[in-house]
Structure formats: structure tokens, C-alpha cells
């Protein structure tokens, strides 16, 4: 439901339309907000900075020096802002088994019954190959996380990530919810930037063979520049930080030394890890400005965490020399990520980085950024929907452009939730898809965090998928996993979640298009307690029970993609020369080569389905700022595009998921949520409760 106090909305909405550019699609930026300058000042692109080979060497040397001082040899990875792996260094003495693998242990479930990712080390592929998690995969994932979650307005580490993805916020213990706290604001984001994502690019993809998850056919990849994938998605294991030059995020460092891929289950006490010490040492001279580190930012009244270690607690590493430190190990080639050399990072905002300013012909609002293919072409230029045979009248290119433009205008006026200074505009990525999951358009704020690019597409697809009449049949048709685990490790199958939601809602027709679902509504049902944070209550139908839940075992979200992760880890370990497909999930194709969830699902808010009257025609996803801001930008952006064009709209109120009443124990009940908008969200107007009544 749209939760905020009701107010008279007519005058407020008229002001909103004016401030957001009305039907013109203008940026609506302004510098007259009460909190300080806004608009174009806050939407300026970051300065051109990048990591040189010498920079990478210095970061490595400092991390190696700290690892030596601590007596913990490590694998250290450095990436640039768009996830290109610039180096992986393995120190002598890093643990290694007889087969040459560097296995890392994923933390156990609270009750010890490991399922999904927790059981990866105990899984065997149907081809008879054992899955191992190498130190290199962990280190790269941590480096990518530090780079992808950060911007010129916020610096987040993997410890920050750990805090915001867990089942309680803030995390207060290792045994599930004990305090009645709701889940973290980015609960589920760890399952993004996946190695199977069709958005995320692959290193040296040309000539790389990957397997089609459904047909088994082998295909040679063509490859693209732009945001790269992570071998494990985003990491919640402390030991990853962003790297900055002159206040501009230029990359990240990730370290694996302790051999355990975990999270921080209790933020009430300091958790001093060797991985975090080594990684923080690598940031000396490349550290984030103190004014934007996570501990200066609050979410729901909680101060976020950046590091449990301070530089004053480290060895003196500023004078470390790579020429000396390099004798402590060797650069390492990692299949699918690096050839084993040190390379310079790309400068974000250039064609070579794959993310650049949009040309006037590509997007009407000056300053917006798009993804590029390396040949000067917008990878996701606005296009018409591909699903006319299913929906009657598919989204047109002009409708897609209107949604993107109006959502971008709302973003430009919205007060950021995770950026400093507090007068900053929100910066997000915006994606539009049709009912087949085909990406029809994508645009970004110039300094939006990179992680939101893949996540916005996940969110758009998730809203369109669960609102689709074919959702239940697609999930039911998902084949049994190709992973053949030891007894009891796999957990629930994808198909089992269909019966779970139908039982939960007491609706035998659930997921057949009768209701419009947002990611917030689906997220409600993806929590290990329902209602979220209610101690002792059962899990939602898309989740595993609280006794089995960890950030590595979330339920349907993980079940959909565990095979892809297993296949990819076998590929990294050079057991097979075939990588996982450019498609997450083994749901059936809606057309050849395309299913509705090509990069997995997302379970935290920031999406709405798109309707033409009562007909579902697509979805819009937003990611990069606070979840309420994301909700608002998508909801109002679609609403304003509908006002402008008169042909599309948000879902009819009667079928929105907030009309679904879920019975609780003791004769009580609760409605699902649809969206939640900030109460006073704009920098240059006094509009209150902007979503109320729409």
C-alpha cells in the first residue's frame, strides 16, 4: 500500500508536475531549495580520474605490507569503478589444497542445515565436478562491491553491505531475528551483478564459450565493455573498500585471507577481521573523503558502518614499495577476469568505460548518462516492446522515452537519502522492460552508483514478472537443478515456491496476473519472518525459514540462480572451459534466447509494473538511492508519463498488491505494501506526501 498520512493532493500534485517538468520532460532542476543548492550542482558529472598502473602497484604494496605485518598471507584484488579487474595478487603461503584450489568456506546456516550457496562446497555438478569457492572469487567480489556501492556522494564498504542486507537492521545476533527489527534496506542486493547477468559484461568475452542453461548448447560470446560482473554477486564479507583519487571513486580493493566468506551478524560489537585490516591498508592515500564514508550516513535512524578498523591501528604502509612487496607472491591469472598482469583502470564517463554522457539524440535531458557498446552506440536506447502478440499494443519507443524522461526529472528533484551533502539530488539508474523481460531503455544519473545499473533492470523485470499471467507457469516449468548435492543441501526447488505462495495467500490462482506486484510487495513475502521483523512468526512464502536464512540462502531469489553460480565457479577453477550462460535462471524461454528473468530477481523496493488500462505491458525499475526514493521515482515517473501521454499508467488501484489481505495468527491480518514514498522528498518545492491518492 502507499503508506503515508493522507493530505489534500490536488494542489501538491500540480506543483509536482511543474517542478518535474510537466509534460515537457524537462530536468526540472533548481538551485533554490531550502537545504542548499540542488539540481545541476548535484548532478554534475564526477571529475575525470582513474587508477594508473603505478596506483595499482601502490595499493597492492600497502596491502601486502600489512598482510606481512599481521602474518596472514592473502589474495588481493583491485578493480576500477566499472569492475574491470586491474590485478589479482596471491601471496606465498595462502592456503591451497592438493588439487591447487584455494577453497573458501561459506558461513553455515544458523541451524547448521546448509542450503543454497552455503552448501556450494558440498555440491557436485551433474557432470561430476565438485564446486569450490576460490580465494580469488571472494577477493574480486569484495573489490567490486566497494567500487559499485560508492560514488562521489557516498563511500560504502563490504561491511556496510553486510549491515544493509541482513534479516534485521541493524544486525544484532547470529541466530536470526531476536529484537523485532525489520530487514536491511538493501536486503537481497547481494544477488546482483551476477556472473550470469545479461547486462554485466565479461572480461575477454570474445572467444569464450558458455553453456545455454536450458538447451545445453555451447555458444561463443561476443563481449562488451561496461559494468563487469562479479563472480559471487555483491559481497557482505568485511574486507572490501572503495578507492578514491581527489574525492572521486576510481575503483575498489578486496582481500581474502581468513578463508571464510561470511558477514558480520552483530554490529553492536566490533568485529576486527584480518581481511578488513589488509584491505584498509591498501586504501591509504586512496581513501574515501571522511565526509562521505558510510559512518556519516544514516538509514532509518541507524548510523551505517564503514570499518571496524582505523588506519591508526595499522602498520605504517604509506612508504611500501611494490618492487619489494612483489617478492612476497605473484600476480595471478583468473579465468574470466584477468590475464595475470597489472593494467590501468578506465576513466568513468568515457566511451572506453562503457558508461558515458548521453548525446542529445539519445536522451533529451542534458547531463544524463547511458551505457555504451564501445562503438559509440547506446546499448539500451529507447525502443518498442517485443510482446505485442501477448499484450495487444506493446510499449512504443516514445512511451519508453517518456517514462525514462519523467522518472529522471523526479530523480533530479528528489532529495538523496544516501548521499552527502544532505542537500544533494538523488542519483539512480532507471530501466524499462516489456513483459518478456526485454530491456527497452536505461538511463542513469551521472554519478549514480554502478550497482544500481544491473539492479534497476532486475527490479523492472521482477515487477513485470510477478504481475504477469505466466509467472506461476514459468516457475513451475523451471527444471530441477543441474546441481546434484548431498542429501538435504539444495533446499526448496523453484517450483515449490508457487505452492508456497498459494498456500500463504489462500489463493490457488496466485501469480496468474490477477494482481500487480512491485518489488516492495514481493519483498514483503521474501523475508524470513512475516510480517517483517515479527519475532517468532513464520517465513514469507518466497523465503526460507529464519533458522536457515543467511545472506547466502534467501529462498526463491537464490534458488533461481544457484546453478549458474556453481557452473561459474567450476569455470573459474579451470575444471571446464565452458562458462555459465548470459542468462540467469532456467525458466522457459518466452521467445528463443530470452526468458523473463535474464539477470535474476530482486527483493528490495524500487519498481512498479506498467499498464495500458487493465493490460500489463512492462515494468520500470529504479536503483541507486534510498528505497523509498527509488519507489517514488518509479511510481511518479510512470504517473507523470501517463499524464503526459494519456496511454499508459500505474496499475489500477483495484489490482495493486496492497489490496491483498494476508491473515495472521490470532485473527489479525495485514495488507501487503505496494510502494512507500518519502513524506517531504523534494529539494525545490514543499510538496508533501507526493504519491498519496495516485
Which range scores top for mean pLDDT: 272-276, 485-489, 616-620? 616-620
CATH top-level class of 53-331: alpha beta
pLDDT tens-digit series, residues 179-217: 557 888 999 999 999 999 999 999 865 556 666 655 666
Q: What is the pLDDT of residue 659?
A: 97
Q: What pLDDT does residue 119 have? A: 67
pLDDT at 507: 95
d(CA 407, CA 638): 7
Contact 490, 120 (CB under 8 A): no
The average pLDDT across 237-250 equals 97
578-603 b/e (C-beta count within 10 Å ≥ 16 → b): bbbbbbbbbbbebeeeebbbbbbbbb
CA distance 468 to 476: 14
Is residue 669 a contact partner of residue 528, using CB atoms and an 8 Å limit?
no
Residues in the chain: 694
Tens digits of per-residue pLDDT, 7-61? 222 223 333 333 333 332 332 322 222 222 333 446 889 999 999 999 999 999 9
Using a pLDDT cut of 90, give the percent of the chain over it: 69
Instruction: Lowest mean pLDDT of 65-74, 77-86, 106-115, 667-676, name the range.
Output: 106-115
d(CA 57, CA 147): 18
Cα distances from 684 to residues 32, 34, 38, 694, in angstroms, run 6, 7, 8, 21
Three cell numbers written together for 324: 619489494
d(CA 36, CA 62): 39
Domain ranges of the chain: 10-47+354-466+604-671, 53-331, 471-579
Flag whether pLDDT at 575 surpasses 90: no
Strand-pairing partners, residue 669, are 663
Condensed to tens digits (0 to 9), the pLDDT of residues 245-287 reads: 999 999 999 999 999 888 888 777 778 899 999 999 999 999 9
As a whole number, mean pLDDT of residues 402-422 equals 96
- pLDDT tens across 345-361, in order? 999 999 999 999 999 99
Other beta carbons less than 10 A from residue 209's beta carbon: 13
* Beta bridge mates, 172: 266
**Of 410, 283, 339, 343, whose CA–CA distance to 53 is shortest?**
343
HEC string of 363-387 equals CCCCCCEEEECCCCCECCCCCCCCC
Report the C-alpha gap between 549 and 459 in whole angstroms. Answer: 22
Q: By the 8 A CB rule, do 466 and 517 touch?
A: yes
Average the pLDDT over 407-416 and give the result. 96
Distances in Å between the Cα of 326 and the Cα atoms of 59, 73, 343, 596 are 12, 13, 15, 47
Q: What average pLDDT does the segment 322-337 reach? A: 95
Q: Are strands 302-303 and 298-299 parallel, antiparallel or unpaired?
A: antiparallel
Pick from 39-53, 89-103, 451-465, 575-589: least confident: 89-103
Residue listed under C-alpha cell 505452492: 499
Whether residue 403 is predicted with pLDDT greater than 80 in this model: the reply is yes
What is the percentage of the chain residues whose pLDDT exceeds 70?
86
Judge whether residue 239 has pLDDT over 80: yes
Q: How far apart are the first and last CA of the chain?
A: 11
Cα(458)–Cα(607) distance, integer angstroms: 9
User: Strands 123-125, 105-106: parallel, antiparallel or unpaired by DSSP?
Assistant: unpaired
The pLDDT value given to residue 16:
37
pLDDT value at 483 more than 80? no
Predicted confidence at residue 170, as pLDDT, reads: 83
Q: For 10-47+354-466+604-671, which CATH superfamily applies?
A: Haem-degrading domain (3.30.450.150)
Mean pLDDT of 609-614: 98
Report the chain's C-alpha Rg in angstroms. 23
Q: What is the pLDDT of residue 7?
A: 27
pLDDT 10s digits, 505-559: 999 999 999 999 999 999 999 999 999 988 888 999 999 998 888 888 899 999 9
Average pLDDT of span 395-411: 98
pLDDT band, very low/low/confident/very high, at 177 (cuts 50, 70, 90): very low
If we measure between CA atoms, which residue out of 314, 275, 352 comes closest to residue 77?
275
Is the alpha carbon torsion for 249, 251, 257, 259 positive or negative? positive
- Could you read off the pLDDT of 366-393 as tens digits, one per residue? 999 999 988 899 999 999 999 999 999 9
Mapped onto helix, strand or coil, the DSSP state of residue 25 is coil
Which helix (H) or strand (E) is 13 found in, with range? helix 10-19
What is the model's pLDDT at position 300? 81
- Beta-strand (E) ranges in 503-603? 578-579
- What pLDDT, on the 0 to 100 scale, is given for residue 79? 98
pLDDT for residue 20: 35
d(CA 257, CA 75): 6
- Spatial separation of the C-alpha atoms in residues 650 and 592, rounded to whole Å: 29
Amino acid at each position: 500500500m502507499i503508506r503515508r498520512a493522507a493530505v489534500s493532493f490536488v494542489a501538491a500534485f500540480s506543483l509536482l508536475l511543474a517542478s518535474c517538468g510537466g509534460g515537457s520532460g524537462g530536468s526540472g532542476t533548481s538551485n533554490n531549495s531550502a537545504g542548499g543548492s540542488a539540481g545541476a550542482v548535484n548532478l554534475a558529472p564526477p571529475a575525470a580520474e582513474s587508477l594508473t598502473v603505478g596506483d595499482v602497484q601502490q595499493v597492492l604494496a600497502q596491502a601486502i605490507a600489512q598482510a606481512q605485518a599481521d602474518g596472514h598471507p592473502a589474495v588481493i584484488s583491485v578493480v576500477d569503478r566499472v569492475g574491470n579487474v586491474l590485478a589479482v595478487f596471491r601471496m606465498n603461503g595462502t592456503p591451497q589444497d592438493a588439487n591447487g584450489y584455494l577453497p573458501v568456506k561459506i558461513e553455515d546456516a544458523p541451524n547448521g542445515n546448509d542450503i543454497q550457496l552455503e552448501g556450494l562446497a558440498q555440491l557436485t555438478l551433474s557432470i561430476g565436478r565438485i564446486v569450490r569457492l576460490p580465494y580469488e572469487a571472494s577477493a574480486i567480489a569484495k573489490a567490486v562491491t566497494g567500487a559499485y556501492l560508492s560514488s562521489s556522494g557516498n563511500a560504502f564498504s563490504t561491511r556496510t553491505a553486510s549491515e544493509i542486507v541482513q534479516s534485521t537492521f541493524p544486525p544484532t545476533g547470529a541466530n536470526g531475528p531476536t529484537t523485532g527489527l525489520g530487514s536491511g534496506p538493501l536486503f537481497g542486493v547481494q544477488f546482483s551483478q551476477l556472473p550470469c547477468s545479461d547486462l554485466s559484461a565479461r572480461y575477454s568475452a570474445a572467444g569464450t564459450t558458455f553453456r545455454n542453461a536450458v538447451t545445453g548448447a555451447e555458444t561463443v560470446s561476443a563481449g562488451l565493455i561496461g559494468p563487469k560482473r562479479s563472480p559471487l554477486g555483491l559481497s557482505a564479507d568485511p574486507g572490501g573498500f572503495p578507492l578514491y583519487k581527489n574525492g572521486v571513486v576510481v575503483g575498489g580493493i578486496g582481500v581474502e585471507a581468513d578463508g571464510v566468506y561470511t558477514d558480520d551478524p552483530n554490529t553492536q560489537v566490533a568485529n576486527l577481521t584480518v581481511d578488513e585490516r589488509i584491505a584498509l591498508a591498501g586504501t591509504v592515500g586512496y581513501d574515501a573523503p571522511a565526509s562521505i564514508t558510510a559512518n556519516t550516513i544514516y538509514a532509518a535512524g541507524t548510523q551505517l558502518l564503514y570499518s571496524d578498523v582505523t588506519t591508526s591501528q595499522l602498520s605504517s604502509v604509506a612508504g611500501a614499495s611494490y618492487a619489494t612487496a612483489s617478492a612476497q607472491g605473484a600476480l595471478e591469472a583468473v579465468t574470466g577476469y584477468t590475464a595475470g598482469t597489472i593494467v590501468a583502470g578506465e576513466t568513468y564517463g568515457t566511451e572506453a568505460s562503457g558508461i558515458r554522457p548521453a548525446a542529445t539524440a539519445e536522451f533529451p535531458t542534458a547531463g544524463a548518462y547511458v551505457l555504451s557498446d564501445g562503438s559509440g552506440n547506446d546499448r539500451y536506447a529507447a525502443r518498442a516492446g517485443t510482446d505485442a502478440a501477448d499484450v495487444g499494443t506493446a510499449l512504443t519507443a516514445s512511451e519508453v522515452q517518456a517514462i525514462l524522461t519523467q522518472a529522471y526529472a523526479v530523480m533530479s528533484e528528489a532529495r538523496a537519502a544516501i548521499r552527502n551533502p544532505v542537500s544533494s539530488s538523488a542519483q539512480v539508474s532507471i530501466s524499462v522492460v516489456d513483459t518478456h523481460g526485454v530491456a527497452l531503455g536505461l538511463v542513469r544519473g551521472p554519478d549514480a552508483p554502478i550497482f544500481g545499473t544491473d539492479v534497476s533492470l532486475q527490479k523492472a523485470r521482477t515487477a513485470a514478472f510477478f504481475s504477469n499471467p505466466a509467472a506461476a507457469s514459468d516457475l513451475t516449468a523451471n527444471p530441477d537443478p543441474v546441481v546434484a548435492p548431498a542429501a538435504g543441501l539444495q533446499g526448496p526447488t523453484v517450483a515449490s515456491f508457487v505452492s508456497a505462495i498459494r498456500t500463504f495467500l489462500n489463493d490457488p490462482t496466485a501469480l496468474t496476473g490477477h494482481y500487480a506486484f512491485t518489488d516492495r510487495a514481493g519483498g514483503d513475502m521474501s523475508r524470513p519472518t512475516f510480517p517483517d521483523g515479527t519475532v517468532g512468526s513464520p517465513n514469507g512464502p518466497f523465503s526460507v525459514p529464519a533458522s536457515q536464512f543467511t545472506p547466502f540462502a534467501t529462498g526463491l531469489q537464490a534458488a533461481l540462480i544457484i546453478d549458474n553460480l556453481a557452473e561459474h565457479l567450476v569455470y573459474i577453477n579451470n575444471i571446464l572451459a565452458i562458462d555459465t550462460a548470459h542468462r540467469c535462471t532456467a525458466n522457459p524461454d518466452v521467445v528463443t534466447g530470452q526468458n523473463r528473468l535474464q539477470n535474476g530477481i530482486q527483493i528490495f523496493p524500487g519498481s512498479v509494473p506498467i499498464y495500458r488500462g487493465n493490460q500489463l505491458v512492462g515494468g520500470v525499475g529504479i536503483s541507486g538511492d534510498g528505497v523509498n526514493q527509488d519507489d517514488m521515482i518509479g511510481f511518479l515517473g510512470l504517473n507523470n508519463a501517463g499524464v503526459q501521454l494519456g496511454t499508459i499508467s500505474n496499475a489500477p488501484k483495484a489490482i495493486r498488491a496492497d489490496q491483498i489481505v494476508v491473515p495472521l495468527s490470532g485473527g489479525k491480518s495485514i495488507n501487503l505494501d505496494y510502494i512507500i514514498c518519502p513524506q517531504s522528498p523534494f529539494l525545490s518545492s514543499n510538496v508533501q506526501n507526493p504519491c498519496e491518492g495516485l
